[in-house]
């Protein structure tokens, strides 16, 4: 693990403007927009036909 | 008359849980309808619906299918309500981000289209949340996981992956965070300032951040870590990364760490890391009597004490005198118990700290160390502190911060219970919370009898919040509810009412 890289990425999060990818409750989108935060909402539905085990496997495979 | 239950399944149709709760509630108000529920067809949801008597027979669904259930007085009423629900589902989904906004179907396409995206806010059902978090981490996003019901093995694996990549993995079950002024999930609109917060407890973070902000000093960042981060299995991975991040952050001068009491090994590692920090720390392990801390850290037994320590000793609600206010309030004859009905889990824990320090015997469904469990024999005759956000109250229902009606039945019962002298209540406002919880609460307690218990509440929020803290307080006061500057002071007032002629037994605040 690179300690330096960890510091850089976390510091960047705390100093840069946020751009949020919202996955799930749509109500969070308006709250963020009302605060002037950039947000892109994912039109999510359960992957892998709603099979959580298959969804987890696909995520591990990077799909 | 026997109620009729009708079901319908929409294959491959997804709506988020809040949207489904809202539609379920609308359908339930149709005349003749006894109960209505629209839920995704996961095994846990099917079990909830079956236990509630909302399934008319065997049902075969996948997690991507939507189940509609209507229980009505007649088949005709059930059919009409089901038709209304189906019509509502056929309306176009609302377009978050405006009608013309393009909506990606995956995190991958969202990141491809928005290269400067830097954080994912994940609130999908728990069984799918780890997979989505992994996709976000794989694409270089920090993650706030609002979802709960994620296994501890998945949590550890995600946090290890995040640490390896230098990314913050906040959660699972992370209810709130404020990053660089952006309120994420259940968060309040706060003044910006020099106090950073690391929180393993959502409402604890909210109470401290709001008290600090309302006192005029602001918050730099509030990093949520999830309620299990300081357990032995996880080892404080995100907490330790958050300490590194806030140490390096020039906007942060003081840091508050709030959590339930950690595993001793994890506490030792975290405290050792704090000792190396150049910044001043406040440590609030709510429910712990003390902690061995280095010179740059102070221990706070309560959320209010934590806020005061972070404010450099400035007192919150200094003009509020619980003994004087308590002496003016009527005591209900023959009643000797305090009933706490909390939306906030950490506010419920803080109440247990204050009441036990005040000499009360307390029981809770979420007991802190030394407090009896509600279902134990020791709970008889105790004050009862109920966390209404606990699983037993929220399975298949929204959290009481979103839907304050979760508290209604318990509150109505308390109002007519002759043993109860005082009812303690909390209102948590801010983004994500109900639009006007004070009016809801006022409606429930309106028309209570002259001999009803004393009602005492605090409001966790700020003037900048959409609900406006002072407006919520005014509404509560117009309903005859006594409102105190903080949750701790609500508990102190409850003690003062109970011990009307005794000096308020202040806990270790000096």
Mean pLDDT calculated for residue range B501-507: 42
- In sequence order, what are the beta bridge partners of B224? B199
Q: Are residues B167 and B219 in the same domain?
A: no
Share of chain B above pLDDT 90, in %: 79
Per-residue pLDDT, A7 = 54
Q: Which CATH number covers residue B85? A: 3.30.1360.30
- The rounded distance, in Å, linking the Cα atoms of B178 and A33 is 15
Q: Which of 209-248 (B) contact A at CB < 8 A?
A: 220-221, 241, 244-246, 248
Q: Is residue B503 part of a domain?
A: no
- Of A1-15, B35-49, B395-409, least confident by mean pLDDT is A1-15
Collapsing DSSP to helix, strand or coil, B427 comes out as strand
Q: Is residue B14 part of a domain?
A: yes
Domain that holds residue B433: 322-498
In a domain, B478, yes or no: yes
Query: How far away is chain A from the Cα of B176, in angstroms, using its nearest Cα?
Result: 12
CATH number at residue B407: 3.40.50.261
Same domain, B359 and B480: yes
Examine the domain organization and report whether B269 and B334 are in the same domain.
no
ipTM of the predicted structure? 0.90
Q: Is the pLDDT of residue A47 over 90?
A: no
Measured between CA atoms, how close is A53 to chain B, in angstroms? 8
What are the residues whose beta carbons fall under 8 Å from the beta carbon of B208, sequence distance 6 or more? Answer: B197, B199, B256, B258, B284, B303, B306, B307, B310
Rounded CA Rg of chain A: 16
Model confidence pLDDT, tens digit, residues B315-339: 999 999 999 999 888 877 788 999 9
Q: Model confidence at B510, in pLDDT bands (50, 70, 90)? A: very low
Report the C-alpha gap between B122 and B133 in whole angstroms: 7
**Are B345 and B464 members of one domain?**
yes
Among all residues of chain B, which has the CA nearest to that of A33?
B97
Residue of A nearest to B124 (CA): A24
As given in the structure block, the two tokens for residue B463 are 């003037």
Q: Which residue has the tokens 């609002």?
A: B146
> Strand, helix or coil at B390?
coil
Regarding whether B311 and B326 lie in a shared domain, the answer is no
Quick count: other Cβ atoms within 10 Å of Cβ B440? 17
Query: Do B457 and B331 belong together in one domain?
Result: yes
Position with higher pLDDT, B45 vs B132:
B132
For residue A45, list chain B residues with Cβ-Cβ distance below 8 A.
12, 14, 64
Residue at B510 is within a domain? no
Query: CA B99 to CA B56: how far, in whole Å?
Result: 39
- pLDDT tens digits for range B468-481: 999 999 999 999 99
CA B62, distance to chain mean position in Å, is: 30
Of B94, B110, B241, the CB nearest to A40: B110
Q: What is the pLDDT of residue B1?
A: 61
User: Are the C-beta atoms of B406 and B400 separated by less than 8 Å?
Assistant: yes
A17 at the B interface (CB within 8 A)?
yes
Instruction: Give CA separation, B267 vs B229, B240, B259, B294, in Å.
Output: 11, 11, 10, 12
Q: What is the pLDDT of residue B450?
A: 86
Among residues B57, B90, B123, which one ends one of the domains?
A: B90
What pLDDT sits at residue B92? Answer: 65
B-facing residues of A in 24-53 (CB < 8 A) are 24-35, 37-47, 49-52
Asked if A7 and B166 count as a contact pair (C-beta separation under 8 A), the reply is yes
Instruction: Please report where in the chains the tokens 């902000």 appear, as a residue.
Output: B213
Residue B81 contacts A where some CB pair is shorter than 8 Å: no
pLDDT of B101: 65
B439-469 pLDDT, tens digit each = 999 999 998 988 899 999 999 999 999 999 9
| Residues B245-270 pLDDT 10s | 999 999 999 999 999 999 999 999 99
131-170 in chain B: CB under 8 A from chain A: 131-132, 134-136, 138, 141-142, 146-147, 154, 163-168
β-strand pairing of B337-342 with B420-428? parallel
B120 to A21: CB separation less than 8 angstroms, yes or no:
yes
| Number of domains composing chain A | 1
Q: Are B75 and B119 in the same domain?
A: no
pLDDT at B100: 54
Q: Same structural domain for residues B81 and B204?
A: no
Q: Does A54 touch chain B (CB under 8 A)?
A: no
Whole-number pLDDT of residue A44:
92
Give the separation between CA A16 and CA B437, rounded to whole angstroms: 34
Q: What is the pLDDT of residue B504?
A: 39
pLDDT at residue B174 greater than cutoff 90: yes
List the domain range (segments joined by +) for residue A24: 3-60
The C-alpha atoms of residue B221 and residue B426 are separated, in whole angstroms, by 24
- The answer, yes or no, to whether residue B153 has pLDDT greater than 70, is yes
Instruction: Provide the chain B residues 26-65 that lie in CB contact (below 8 A) with chain A.
Output: 40-42, 62-65
Region for B241 from its dihedrals, namely left if φ exceeds 0, alpha if ψ lies in -120 to 50, beta otherwise: alpha
Contact at CB, B105 and A28, closer than 8 angstroms: no
Domain membership flag for residue B144 = yes
C-alpha dihedral, B75 to B76 to B81 to B86, nearest 10°: 90
pLDDT in tens, B203-217: 999 999 999 999 999
Compute the average pLDDT of residues B361-366. Answer: 97
**Which of A1, A2, A42 has its CB closest to that of B104?**
A42
């Amino acid at each position: 693990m690179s300690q330096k890289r960890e510091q850089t990425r976390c510091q960047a999060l705390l100093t840069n403007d946020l751009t949020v990818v919202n996955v799930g409750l749509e109500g969070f989108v308006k709250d963020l927009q009302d605060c002037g935060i950039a947000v892109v909402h994912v039109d999510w539905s359960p992957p892998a036909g709603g099979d959580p085990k298959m969804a987890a496997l696909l995520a591990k495979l990077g799909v | 008359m026997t109620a009729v239950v009708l079901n319908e399944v929409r294959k491959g149709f997804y709506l988020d849980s809040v949207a489904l709760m809202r539609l379920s509630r609308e359908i339930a108000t149709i005349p003749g309808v006894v109960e209505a529920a629209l839920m995704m067809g996961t095994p846990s949801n099917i079990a909830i619906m079956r236990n509630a008597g909302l399934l008319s027979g065997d049902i075969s669904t996948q997690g991507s299918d939507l189940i509609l259930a209507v229980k009505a007085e007649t088949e005709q009423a059930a059919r009409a309500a089901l038709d209304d629900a189906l019509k509502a589902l056929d309306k176009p989904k609302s377009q978050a981000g405006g009608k013309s906004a393009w909506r990606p179907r995956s995190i991958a396409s969202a990141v491809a289209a928005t290269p400067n995206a830097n954080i994912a806010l994940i609130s999908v059902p728990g069984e799918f949340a780890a997979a989505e978090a992994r996709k976000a981490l794989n694409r270089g996003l920090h993650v706030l996981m609002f979802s709960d019901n994620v296994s501890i093995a998945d949590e550890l694996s995600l946090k290890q992956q995040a640490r390896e990549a230098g990314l913050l993995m906040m959660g699972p079950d992370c209810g709130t965070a404020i990053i660089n002024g952006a309120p994420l999930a259940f968060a309040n609109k706060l003044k910006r300032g020099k106090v950073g917060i690391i929180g393993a407890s959502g409402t604890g973070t909210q109470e401290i951040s709001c008290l600090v902000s309302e006192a005029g000093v602001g918050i730099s960042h509030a990093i949520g870590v999830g309620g299990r981060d300081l357990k032995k299995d996880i080892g404080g991975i995100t907490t330790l990364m958050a300490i590194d991040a806030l140490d390096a952050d020039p906007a942060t001068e003081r840091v508050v760490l709030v959590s339930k009491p950690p595993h001793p090994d994890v506490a030792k590692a975290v405290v050792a890391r704090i000792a190396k920090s150049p910044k001043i720390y406040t440590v609030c392990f709510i429910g712990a009597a003390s902690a061995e801390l280095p010179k740059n850290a102070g221990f706070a037994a309560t959320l209010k004490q934590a806020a005061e320590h972070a404010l450099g000793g400035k007192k919150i609600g200094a003009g509020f005198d619980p003994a004087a206010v308590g002496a003016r309030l009527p005591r209900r004859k023959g009643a000797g118990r305090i009933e706490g009905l909390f939306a906030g889990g950490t506010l419920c824990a803080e109440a247990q700290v204050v009441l036990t320090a005040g000499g009360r015997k307390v029981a809770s469904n979420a007991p802190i160390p030394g407090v009896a469990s509600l279902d134990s024999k020791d709970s008889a005759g105790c004050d009862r502190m109920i966390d209404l956000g606990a699983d037993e109250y929220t399975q298949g229902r929204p959290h009481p911060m979103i839907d304050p009606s979760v508290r209604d039945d318990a509150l109505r019962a308390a109002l007519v219970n002759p043993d109860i002298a005082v009812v303690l209540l909390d209102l948590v406002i801010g983004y994500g919370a109900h639009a006007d919880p004070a009016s809801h609460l006022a409606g429930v307690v309106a028309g209570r009898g002259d001999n009803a218990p004393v009602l005492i509440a605090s409001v966790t929020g700020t003037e900048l919040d959409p609900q406006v803290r002072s407006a919520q307080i005014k509404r509560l006061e117009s309903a005859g509810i006594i409102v105190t500057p903080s949750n701790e002071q609500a508990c102190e007032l409850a003690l003062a009412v109970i011990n009307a002629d005794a000096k308020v037994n202040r806990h270790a605040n000096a």
